[in-house]
Homo-oligomer: A and B are copies of this chain.
Amino acid sequence: MPKEARPGTGEQAKQHALEQLRQAISRGEMAPAQRLVENELAEQFGVTRASIRAALIELASEGLVERIRNRGSRVRVVSVEEAVAITECRMVLEGLCAAKAAVEADEEQLTELADLGTAMSKAVADGEPLTYSDLNHQLHARIREFSGQRVAVELLERLNAQLVRHRFQLALRPGRAQRSLGEHLAVIEAIRARDPQAAEAAVRAHLASVIDALSE
């Protein structure tokens, strides 16, 4: 009876359940508004209910699930209005990160950004929206990372986790990649030029365009 996949990690039961649940939600394996019954989850993940409870409390605090007194937990559904509000926050926070990255990044990191840019251009030229979406995430993540702003990084990762469903929907929209590509290249250009103000402006322009696309 395999209780855990990787015993070497020494994960506590709660951490194990937390990570499993978080990934399941982030991958969209849990339907939106699906009920999360503690007993079922406990059996499903092979841990006790207390561990599931702890994980759910933490996920609720991250905004991924919704808990109602004596009524249980659901995966939270984010409305379009809320997705816009979240993206507005991303806009200013990623703007901050880009500005700092333009100052803090070293030459090797700048090269990595340039490589990502060419890869993205290729993905668009080849008409591979899936690859492009993946590179998109990588680019945003790298810029965050290079900024060295850990507080902003944590906030952004938390916000991004709430957008999985909308993000999925947005990536498949035809013509979106072409528009997005130009904006991304502008961001990369500004950071490589070590111009914090231009970098912030470019990121904000990009996410403003995402907000437009979200609102349709």
Contacts and interface: CB of A to CB of B under 8 A. Distances in A.
Contacts of A57: 54, 57-58, 61
Interface string A49-68: 01001100110011000000
Interface in A60-88: 61-62, 69, 82, 85-86, 88
Interface stretch (A24-32, A91-99, A170-178): A91-99
B58 A89 contact: no
Interface in A155-188: 155, 159
Nearest to A158: B155
Contact of A53 (B54, B82, B155): B54
Q: This chain: how many copies in the complex?
A: 2
Interface stretch (A104-112, A114-122, A132-140, A144-152): A144-152
Contact of A151 (B12, B89, B151): B89
B88 A149 contact: yes
A89 B92 CA distance: 9
